[in-house]
């Protein structure tokens, strides 16, 4: 998956995490801007999943196909869960959860890339 999309997603996830961290430190609850940024991240991940599955069905991809597919789908869950949490927890800890989830997305994308290039189990 060594294409521009991977890098874009990692950067986007880190930006979302940084933005949410500022909100948490300023003692703000999740706002609309964060909700939108999570939506953008989710769209990027959806695009990544589509590209990933198209490549997998085309015969490309790592040996551990199941793990790779698991990460592709699993990453999709995180922004949605974080957004729901941010809506429920109207304190600084809503953005706190978003920080964790966005960092989790970044880690998962790095792992995806490692799986694709065969440098990780």
Positions touching another protein (CB under 8 A) are 24-25, 27-29, 64, 66-67, 70-71, 74, 77-78, 81-82, 85, 89-94, 96-97, 99-101, 104, 107, 121
Cα 78 to Cα 101: distance, rounded to the nearest angstrom: 6
Contact at 8 Å (CB) between 113 and 56? no
In the complex, the smallest distance separating the C-beta of residue 3 from another protein, rounded to whole angstroms, is: 24
51 or 64, CB closer to another protein?
64
Q: Quick check: 37 and 19 in contact, CB under 8 A?
A: yes
Cα angle: 26, vertex 81, 98; to 5 degrees: 20
Shortest Å distance, C-beta 26 to another protein: 9
Q: Which residue has the tokens 């974080």?
A: 82
- Of 3 and 74, the one with the shorter C-beta distance to another protein is 74
Give the C-alpha distances (Å, rounded to integers) separating 63 from 7, 101, 106, 119.
Answer: 22, 27, 22, 11
CB of 4 to another protein, least distance (A): 26
- Of the pair 32, 66, the CB lying nearest another protein is at 66
Task: CB nearer to another protein: give 56 or 77.
Answer: 77
């Amino acid at each position: 998956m060594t294409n521009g999309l991977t890098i874009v997603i990692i950067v986007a996830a880190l930006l979302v995490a940084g933005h949410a961290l500022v909100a948490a430190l300023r003692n703000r609850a999740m706002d609309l801007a964060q909700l939108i940024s999570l939506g953008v991240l989710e769209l990027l991940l959806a695009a990544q999943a589509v590209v990933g599955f198209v490549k997998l069905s085309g015969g490309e991809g790592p040996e551990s196909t199941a793990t790779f597919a698991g990460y592709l789908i699993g990453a999709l869950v995180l922004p949605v869960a974080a957004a729901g949490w941010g809506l429920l927890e109207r304190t600084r800890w809503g953005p706190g959860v978003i920080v964790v989830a966005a960092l989790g997305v970044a880690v998962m994308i790095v792992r995806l890339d490692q799986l694709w290039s065969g440098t990780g189990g």
